[in-house]
Structure 1
Amino acid sequence: MKTYFKYIALALLLSFGLVSCKDNENWRIIPYEPEPAAPIDGPEQLYVVGAHQGWAPDAAVIGKLYPVDAEGNYAGYAYLNGEYKCISQQNWDGPNYGAGSTEGTLSTIENAGNLTAEEGYYYLTFNIKELTYAAQLVNFGVIGDATPGGWNEDTNLVYDPADLKLKVDMTLTDGTIKFRANDEWDVPNGDFGLGDSDGKLAPKGGNISVTAGDYQIIVDLSTPDYTYELIAK
């Protein structure tokens, strides 16, 4: 008998709930909205100016560093050849980031010295809050069983200042390729393979399948949307 009354009570509760929801004109489904991304406390990007591009802050083609968090960290790939600075807008109005008083530090004072780097392609990290930076040399090449050097020898990519991309013309066989820096596999920020679709690159991604032929290979690391192209010749 107790079980019988329990079922009756449950039926009444369900019936009341359905009627209540139906009769409530304000009842609605609230869609899920993800939390907004943390705001960037700084410029949208930093511009890399220096001897490598004629000290032209307003250049149409210019290397950039992009924010990676809300803590003042910026990062990006850029070609350098001698002295350089990073600036927050495409003029000298500032803030501009030059050499600090010790290695690895930055200064925003008006007469701050220039940063220096030997010629090459670099992964740059700047923190505009703590005023620190690092410049990591990452000269990239193509490697894989589809290349003349197989998995033992890289074919170097060459920087093109006209569009900030890395390029090389070469003959490939059926097989796979990847891109790595400094002829090594353990270089931080220096190992790229296939991303989530053809033409996309991802750090430590998988091998990229290719078919035999003559190609211009183009790698673009100038924005966080890393890409590659194989253009048949």
Structure 2
Amino acid sequence: MKTYIYKLLVLCAVALLAVSCEETAELTTLQEVSFTSTVEASTKTIVISDDNSSEPVVALSWPAVAYPIEAPVTYALQFDIPADITGEKAWSKATRIVVGEDVLSKSLLGVELNKIAILLGLPVDAAGKIAVRVESYMDHTAYSEPIILTVTPYEAKPSGQIIMPGSYQGWNVDTAALFAPISVGIYQGYVSIPVGAGLGFKLNQERNWAQFYGAGASNQDLKNMSDTDFQMPGAGSYQMTVNLKTLKWNAVPYSWGIVGDATAGSWDTSTPMNYDHVSKTWKVTADLKPGNVKFRLNNSWTINYGAKNNDEGIMYLDNSGAHYVGEAGKYEITFTINDVNPALNGYPATGTYTVKKI
């Protein structure tokens, strides 16, 4: 009896395996399928700008592809430049967006199409061509015929701000340092941490506490509404960069200083200045003797400014001149310069300064 039951179980398993193999064979040997008509676009000429970046700029639709069995069909869109959609490597550089199962349309926001156009190498503020086709997939892939869109991408203008309340200024969001946008989602500015001040701070997008970032997995990670304070490396002046795309921040030592035979360090060692983030001015109070004063960055001659005379109140990039101090005493010195994103913009030709005896 046991032998009979065992044989019966074996026969059933073999039968089930055969059915499974038959179903698998059916799925992997499906007949050829195709799109019955072309992709439709609500418009084929799109000019993208700040005005429509957050709005739908084109709607694409296509017919359903009929496969021989009933199962979900996954659709995706492929975008490429017309020169790359023929030959052995056709569509190999395409940007692909999955639309979903049994979804037969897709609207693209201006910002989405703009990103695709930039990735494909279209120049900004100039009309370029983009080929679009639809991909369908069940157990094998079918493609629609491509259509051509004429797209004018643009360079998105940076906006917004980052506020840095912290121990260095009493946690007052109204007077905290402000970082300006240097590109979309990236902000840069300067801050000085006094000796003896606390090192904790937060990062806010407005001058209030409705929303803020604190430390996440590490001190450099931004986590929304985290109670853990970020920590500065120590006292000193820094160039701060906050990236909301990567949710990271960093601080690089950065300080303008005075140098010259009127200063304590003469021509060899700069006297560092502190950044006043309220007036956006570098300041120092120092004892000077008769002689010359120039300004240089990070105690190096790589970036330095000199005056043509004592009357203009202007310092010039890489100028050999200097401000002359005729009388020894205690002076308040200021230097104001537009040095936001110097890595991209370079350093400006001039900055303004004052040397005032107190």
TM-score range, shorter chain: 0.5 to 0.7
Gaps of 5+ in 2: 1-124, 126-153, 341-347
| d(CA) in 1 for partners of 2:237, 2:318 | 21
Q: Specify the SS of the correspondent of 1:52.
A: helix
Determine which of 93, 104, 124 is the counterpart of 2:210: 93
Question: Is the aligned partner of 1:193 residue 2:305?
Answer: yes
Determine which of 283, 289, 312 is the counterpart of 1:166: 283
Q: Specify the SS of the correspondent of 2:183.
A: coil
| d(CA) in 2 for partners of 1:119, 1:154 | 17
Indicate if the aligned counterparts of 1:48 and 1:78 stay in contact, CA closer than 8 A. Answer: no
Question: Is the aligned partner of 1:134 residue 2:134?
Answer: no
Q: CA offsets per residue over residues 196-216 of structure 1, 9 Å max, x none? A: xx55668x7445521223542
| 1:116 aligned residue | 231
RMSD, aligned α-carbons: 3.5
Question: Is the aligned partner of 1:106 residue 2:222?
Answer: yes
Q: Specify the SS of the correspondent of 1:87.
A: coil
| 1:69 aligned residue | 183
| Change over 3 Å in CA distance of 1:133–1:206 after alignment to 2 | farther
Tell me: higher relative CO, structure 1 or 2? Use CA pairs within 8 A at least 6 residues apart: 1
Determine which of 125, 134, 140 is the counterpart of 2:241: 125
Q: CA offsets per residue over residues 102-146 of structure 1, 9 Å max, x none? A: 353212x22342110112211100111211111112344311244
How much does 1:97 deviate?
Answer: 2.4
Q: What TM-score comes out, normalization by structure 1 length?
A: 0.64
Determine which of 268, 285, 291 is the counterpart of 1:152: 268
| d(CA) in 2 for partners of 1:201, 1:133 | 32
| 1:20 aligned residue | none
| Change over 3 Å in CA distance of 1:74–1:216 after alignment to 2 | same
| d(CA) in 2 for partners of 1:115, 1:146 | 39
Q: Specify the SS of the correspondent of 1:88.
A: coil
Determine which of 50, 64, 84 is the counterpart of 2:201: 84
Question: Is the aligned partner of 1:38 residue 2:169?
Answer: no
Gaps of 5+ in 1: 1-34
Q: Percent identity?
A: 24
Question: Is the aligned partner of 1:51 residue 2:163?
Answer: no
Indicate if the aligned counterparts of 1:104 and 1:134 stay in contact, CA closer than 8 A. Answer: yes
| Change over 3 Å in CA distance of 1:69–1:135 after alignment to 2 | same
| d(CA) in 2 for partners of 1:192, 1:161 | 21
Indicate if the aligned counterparts of 1:66 and 1:75 stay in contact, CA closer than 8 A. Answer: yes
How much does 1:159 deviate?
Answer: 5.5
Which protein has the larger Cα radius of gyration, Structure 1 or Structure 2? 2
| d(CA) in 1 for partners of 2:244, 2:286 | 39
Q: What TM-score comes out, normalization by structure 2 length?
A: 0.44
Amino acid in structure 1 at the alignment position of 2:225: E
Indicate if the aligned counterparts of 2:165 and 2:177 stay in contact, CA closer than 8 A. Answer: yes
Indicate if the aligned counterparts of 2:221 and 2:248 stay in contact, CA closer than 8 A. Answer: yes
How much does 1:185 deviate?
Answer: 5.1
Q: Specify the SS of the correspondent of 1:211.
A: strand
| Change over 3 Å in CA distance of 1:67–1:160 after alignment to 2 | closer
Q: How does 1:17-32 map to 2 (within 5 A)?
A: none
| d(CA) in 2 for partners of 1:102, 1:135 | 14
